[in-house]
Structure 1
Amino acid sequence: MAVLQRYLSIISLYYLWLIPLGQVVAAVHEILEYVNPLIGSTNGGNVFAGASLPYGMAKAVADVDGQNTGGFSTDGSRVIGFSALHDSGTGGNPSLGNFPLFPQYCPDNVIDNCKFPRDARAVHYVNDSVVARPGHFALSLENGIHAEMTTSEHAALFRFNFPPITGSDGSPLSPFVLLDLTDLWESRQNASISVDDSSGRIRANGTFLPSFGAGTYKSYFCADFGGASVRDSGIWVNNRGGTEPKDLFVTRGFNQFYLQAGGFVRFHRPQDGIVNVRVGVSFISTDRACENAEKEIPGPEYDFNGLTDRAEKAWSEKLSPISVKSGGASKDLLSSFWSGIYRTMLDPQDLTDENPLWKSDEPYFDSFYW
């Protein structure tokens, strides 16, 4: 990787010397149009198709129940959640996908009518609604909810748009977002969750297995909500939920029984239907996950468009040293080329000060599968 980066830097200096600055700026903008994160998202490609900064630790995308080693696949399978930790190109068992969120409406606003377990809540996405570009991912679910996401270095911002729907009595349904104490592989060994009664903040942590290799790893999560006032919140286990208690610890136990569980927050539907969820992630602690989110995505008014623009600028800067002389190459070939260069910057991830084995501010790049 280091040799490749030095080689690309030499190419960059050569081309930048030849091309006027105005053309470089225009070329960089055009480059992003050629990047297609969906290339390789089916038929065993195992790529990560979602939103990320270059070498970013936070990687947000919709998780599906089909070919999901990278979280999302264009294989027409069902969405089971939206999460902010992923890897790309790993193959084998599904990796990461820790602490997925899932937006839904509960029939007649009855909590026990909500669909909690993974298989029960799974819903197909609308095929032609999928939008994937550097730093941004979006799709619509067949239940009418539209989801968008973007990221900072160690945090993600999800924007769920709930259409107006009424219950059998004619009253409007309340947006409902659950958090599942699981990962894509359902490898969780134990986990804890705490839901704040007033703000709805969800703090969670868990111990998980890598998709291949030995040992375990710990992951930490912190979610805050914006754009809508909290109606109530609580905990769910299997197919039932309630507003009390607000804390829960789960483990596999001696018989290895896998208990599905998590937390939820329900909202009064805002006029525009939008509920924002800011998610901080960490491999150090839950406090660090919250700090990452607060530092990188300030609230309480989360600037989704501004964060998306920042991500696009970051990708533009990283891709700008490389240029292609126009003429002679098809659009498909250019898309393959730029998408390939783009993928070299998804992994390894910048885990500086996020390694639980030692504390250091020195630059550190790694991943579980790198």
Structure 2
Amino acid sequence: MALWRPWRYCRISFRRARQLRGVYILIAAFLGSVALHLIFDEASLLDALPSFIRSVLLLLLPGTVVTEPLTSYVNQFIGTTNGGHVFAGATLPFGVVKAVVNSDSKENLGGYVSDGSPIRGISPLHDDGTGGSPSMGQFQVLPMYCSSLSHCPTAESDRKVSLISETIVGSPGYFGTGLASNITAEVTVSHHAALHRFTFHNYSSSSTDIPTILFDLTNDLGHSFHDTGMLKMEFNRFPGTLRTSGSGSYNPSFGDKDYKVHYCIDIPNVNSAGFYTDNHFQPVYIPTSVLTSDQDSGILVSLSPGALHASGNVAYARIGVSWTSPSQACQYAGTEIPTIGEEAFRSTEVSASNAWENILGTIQVDLSGVSNDTIVNFYSSLYRAYISPMNLTGDNPLWHSSEPYYDSYYCICRHLSTSSLCYRHRTVQAEVVRALIDIYRHLGFLPDCRMSLDKGYTQGGSNADSVLSDSYTKGITEGIDWSDGLAAMIKDATVTPPNWAFEGRGGIERRAQLGYVPLDDDTPNGLMGRSASRTLEYAFNDFGIAITADGLGKADITSHYLNASGDWQHLWNPTTQNSGYSGFIQPRWSDGSWHNVDPRYCSPQLKPHGCYLGDAVEFYEASSWEYSFYVPHDMARLVTLMGGQRTFLDRLDALFDLGFHDMGDEPGFLHPFLYNYAGRPDKTVDRVLILLNTYYNTGFGGIPGNDDSGAMGGFVVFSCFGFYPVAGTGIYLISTPLFRTITYPASTPGKSAVITTVNFDSAVRNKYVVSAKLNGVPFTRNWFAHRELFGKGGTLELTLGPAPSTWGTADADLPPSISTSPLSRFS
């Protein structure tokens, strides 16, 4: 089975000790650590030691408190089966390089799949949870034994090699595995580069097999290589080091046009080399370069037997990646990983691990009394929230700008569930917002989906509008021109793009006339359908425009878009009935007549996979049963339309109990918290705990659906926090924390926001909030605003009990809705 860091320390430490003849080093480290402890009495000094040494020290130093690194709780393999499409390899927070093996599996959208499939190679470029089509995966490197370079299997179908499952290891910034070819392959990363370490076991200079490294230019995961690629070989400044650099053109997984990306790989101790094309090998004199348009093209190098023997049969390869040029790829590699060898591998791995430790530690969590599964699930989910988008600042070939540039949004409507984690890392969130606004400046519209420098398909609304409003309500202002931000949002709402399949909105004119996007809308140059779900999303996007305009003092704009945010009501058909309930969101024709869609359609109970792009349906990736609850800015009005609080609560129960709710897709994330709007926060707690225990675990299939760039983990993180964001606003709905105390950095410098509990027992018995205090003052609302806790800092104390109380049940304690509350309450 695949393992992660806790099981890795001993194995790697002993291996390194052997390589360094390290028995004396281990003894010295042991005695030195004892001395340091006796002198300074600092438990933190132990953190740098391998876990087996620390375990011995604990026996000899009673009372010593040793804190495990947070990275030790990250299991990168959760979600690598069952359609999770999780990236399980080595990367940095928001890193460009994401290095992992490419499994020969239909589920390899994230590269590695925990299904026992053989692999094709190890690639530095991947995305996390991309959905229906594989993304990137090019520039594969594969170590192998060959009888000669002219007899090496180079085609993907011929060179596949099985993994030794019990050797598969991962930790933040590292991935390693044993190959059935008697080779161990490991990789660690910097932001733009990867460093490979290959151990050719049992190789001797008398062996007839030749240690070889293959570099594949043309095969990405989707086999989309086209046009002409370039392969150039020369000797680098390091003695005996072969440098290969070049470029390839590929198609994006979910977008328009194509993209070009560049590489630079350095391999020390090369004996001979040449190009291959379609299983034909051509030895070459170096330097040389070739252009290729063939589907199977790359480079083969044999390693020097003497040099390999002298290094303990360990070889290295360093690859840099750039979206601008091969020379930039070489510069990134040389700057970020200046040397190639064992020390470079160790230092790069340590730097990567430290980067993850720092960002995971932004939020401080009291882990006492919490099960290991909960801790692992929490930190693994939090970790995945930082994988995407990738920070391409300074390496954007499309335009020159002093603004940041981020890429890989799959898609922004999916990110709404995790964008409210912005308070954890305000600087990055500000950069993302600036990058989105800069895309608008140069391309004319905010993106809804974007990957590999290309425009991606719009799945629903113009949801960057809601990401911007989400950030604005949370006081994210660093370097952001909010005048341009508001202008970009308004353009989304008022100007039809040349091709609204990839940005902006469709049906703008018809909606302005009718109050909804009609089923027979004929706006050209887009993907028809989704008229009902797009109307709902456009209405919520307009609410985001209103809340941002209100903060900027634009009264007329605020009034207009606040009014437009109520357009969802035009699709409420009170006569539609299903499963004993009346009133559902339904599409309409332009003449006002209804088009009745079975409210169960596209739920887990009826055609669950029938509502994707191109399916000519009026809801996207969810049923009318789910979408009929999607009015997060005016739930009070929705409760009234459904017949009042009692019927609303019964109907919400029916959504889950009758199997219409889909936990495996983002439209269903907010639903378990909606009980708060009808004064039953206790039912929110019950439902959240049921969903966590039913659909999430620490196994390979431990998430209920495609990870969508960390969105699935976002539900886990917020559920553990004990609140959930109403994305696009500054509102959080309270449930019950699964940690005793959680400390967050506040917006105000030097201040912290703390959520703490009384009677905490991991929600085993005391799972309901029975009373609360905010900064020592009794607090009865079942929600709170960002500004009153995360903005200025403070402490929210939640007292827990085994049975529900009246806390949070009064009308005055319910979350705000625009039909009952002023707009100011949303921020």
Partner residue, 2:406: 365
Which residue type is aligned with residue 371 of structure 2? S
After superposition, the C-alpha distances for 1:40-62 in whole angstroms (9 at most, x for unaligned) are 01111001100011111111111
**Contact (CA 8 Å) 2:242, 2:270: kept in 1 or not?**
yes
Give the SS at the match of 2:242. coil
Q: For 2:191 and 2:401, how far apart are their aligned partners in 1?
A: 17
What secondary structure does 2:127 align onto?
coil
- Residue 64 in structure 1 maps to residue 103 in structure 2: yes
- Cα gap change, 1:361 to 1:292, in 2 (>3 Å): farther
Contact 2:320/2:329 (<8 A) preserved: yes
User: 1-side partners of 2:267 and 2:184: how far apart?
Assistant: 17
| Cα distance in 2 for residues equivalent to 1:320 and 1:166 | 46
Task: Write the letter of the residue equivalent to 1:188.
Answer: F
Question: 1:284 is paired with a residue of what secondary structure?
Answer: coil
Alignment-derived partner of residue 212 in structure 1: 254
Structure 2 counterpart of 1:349? 390
Offset, 1:366? 2.2
Of the structure 1 ranges 137-146 and 180-189, higher mean CA displacement relative to structure 2 is found in 180-189
Q: Which runs of 5+ in 2 are unaligned?
A: 1-41, 48-64, 412-827
Are 2:370 and 1:329 aligned? yes
Distance 2:241 2:353 in 1: 31
- Describe the SS at the equivalent of 1:313: helix
Where does the alignment leave 5 or more consecutive residues of structure 1 unmatched? 1-20, 252-257
Q: Secondary structure at the match of 2:212?
A: strand
Q: Indicate whether 1:31 and 2:70 are aligned.
A: yes
Aligned partner of 1:91 among 131, 145, 153: 131
Name which of 263, 273, 276 aligns with 1:236: 276
User: Which of the residues 172, 175, 192 maps onto 1:154?
Assistant: 192
Structure 1 residue matching 2:357: 3-state secondary structure? helix
Match of 1:285 in 2: 325
Q: Does 1:43 align with 2:82?
A: yes
Q: Say whether the 8 Å CA contact 1:165–1:172 is kept in structure 2.
A: no
How many Å apart are 1:171 and its aligned residue? Answer: 3.7
Q: Which AA in structure 2 matches 1:329? A: V
Asked whether the equivalents of residues 316 and 340 of structure 2 are also in contact (C-alpha less than 8 Å), the reply is: no
What SS does the aligned partner of 1:139 have? strand
Q: CA deviation at 1:262?
A: 0.8
- 1:358 Cα deviation after fit: 1.3
> Structure 1 residues 30 and 259, CA, compared in 2 at 3 Å: closer, same or farther?
closer
| Structure 2: distance between partners of 1:316 and 1:22 | 17
Offset at residue 300 of structure 1 (A): 4.6
1:199 to 233, 241, 244: 241
| Alignment correspondent of 1:55 | 94
Q: CA deviation at 1:329?
A: 2.4
Report the Cα offset of residue 362 of structure 1: 3.1
Please show how residues 97-246 of structure 1 align to structure 2 within 5 Å. Answer: 97-107=137-147, 110-165=148-203, 171-182=207-218, 183-189=220-226, 190-196=228-234, 199-226=241-268, 229-244=269-284, 246=288
Q: Report if the CA contact (8 A) 2:367-2:375 is conserved.
A: no
SS in 2 for 1:196: strand
2:316 to 252, 265, 276: 276
Does 2:295 align with 1:259?
yes
Kindly state the Cα deviation for residue 28 of structure 1 after the two structures are TM-superposed: 6.9
Aligned partners of 2:250 and 2:259 also within 8 Å: yes
- Distance (whole Å) between structure 2 residues aligned to residue 300 and residue 154 of structure 1: 15
2:379 aligns with 338
CA distance in 1, matches of 2:340, 2:189: 16
Q: Separation in 2 of the partners of 1:51 and 1:58? A: 8
**1:240 Cα shift?**
1.8
Tell me how far apart the structure 2 counterparts of residues 223 and 164 of structure 1 sit (CA, whole Å).
26
Pick aligned residue for 1:309 from 336, 350, 366 = 350
Name the aligned partner's letter for residue 84 of structure 2.
Answer: G
Indicate yes or no: 2:250 matched with 1:250.
no
- Give the whole-Å Cα distance in 2 for the aligned partners of 1:27 and 1:73: 34
Distance in 1, Cα, partners of 2:68 & 2:316: 28
Whole-Å Cα distance in 1 between the matches of residues 231 and 316 of structure 2? 20
Name the structure 2 match of 1:5.
Answer: none
Cα deviation, 1:90-113, whole Å, max 9, x if unaligned, reads: 021211111101110102xx2222
1:179 partner amino acid: F
SS at match of 2:131: coil
Contact persistence 2:87–2:129 (CA under 8 A)? yes
8 A Cα contact 2:96 2:192, kept in partner: yes
Following superposition, the deviation at residue 27 of structure 1 comes to 8.2
CA distance in 1, matches of 2:401, 2:192: 17
Residue 244 of structure 1 and its aligned partner are, at CA, apart by: 2.5
Kindly report which structure 2 residues correspond to 1:66-81, keeping only aligned pairs within 5 A, or say none: 66=105, 67-81=107-121
Task: Give how far 1:243 is off.
Answer: 1.1
Stretch of structure 1 that moved more, 199-208 or 45-54 = 199-208
Per the alignment, do residues 325 and 300 of structure 1 end up closer, same or farther by CA in structure 2, a change over 3 Å counting? closer
Shift of 1:361: 4.2
Instruction: Indicate the SS of the match to 2:215.
Output: strand
Counterpart-to-counterpart distance in 1, 2:340 and 2:185: 20
Cα separation, 1, equivalents of 2:345 and 2:251: 33
Structure with the higher helix share, 1 or 2: 2
Query: Larger radius of gyration, structure 1 or 2?
Result: 2
What do residues 111-163 of structure 1 show as CA deviations (whole Å, max 9, x unaligned)? 22211000100011001111011011000100111011110011110111112
On the 8 A contact 1:164/1:172 being kept in 2, the answer is no
Shift of 1:324: 2.5
In the other structure, the counterpart of 1:8 is none
Deviations 1:286-320 (A, max 9, x none): 00000000000002546101110101110111011
Counterpart residue identity of residue 299, structure 2: G
Q: Deviations over 1:8-34 (max 9, x none)?
A: xxxxxxxxxxxxx978x8887432111
* Secondary structure of 2:115 counterpart: coil
**Distance change in 2, residues 1:361/1:177 (3 Å):** farther
2: CA distance, partners of 1:368 / 1:357: 17
State the distance in 2 between where 1:51 and 1:239 align: 30
Q: Quick one: distance in 1 between partners of 2:222 and 2:139?
A: 12
**1-structure distance, mates of 2:159, 2:348:** 29
Does the CA-based 8 Å contact 2:149-2:300 persist in structure 1? no
More strand by proportion, 1 or 2? 1
Q: Is the 8 A contact 1:155 1:280 kept in 2?
A: yes
Query: Aligned in 2, Cα 1:304/1:242: closer, same or farther, shift over 3 Å?
Result: same
**Does the CA contact (< 8 Å) of 1:28 and 1:320 recur in 2?**
no
How big is the shift at 1:172? 4.5
1:241-290: CA deviations, max 9, x gaps? 12127422122xxxxxx531111211113121111111000100000000
Separation of aligned partners in 2, 1:300 and 1:62: 21
**Matched AA of 1:155:** A
Q: Is the 8 A contact 1:34 1:338 kept in 2?
A: yes
| SS of residue paired to 1:127 | strand
Q: Deviation string for 1:208-227 (max 9, x for gaps)?
A: 0001221100110000023x
CA-based RMSD of the aligned residues comes to 2.1
Displacement of 1:368: 5.7
Give, in whole Å, the separation in 1 of the partners of 2:300 and 2:198: 15
| Equivalent residue letter for 1:334 | I
Q: Taking structure 1 as reference, are residues 219 and 320 closer, same or farther at Cα in structure 2, changes over 3 Å only?
A: same
Aligned equivalents of 2:267 and 2:68: distance in 1?
A: 33
Task: Give me the whole-angstrom Cα distance separating, in 1, the residues matched to 2:387 and 2:76.
Answer: 11
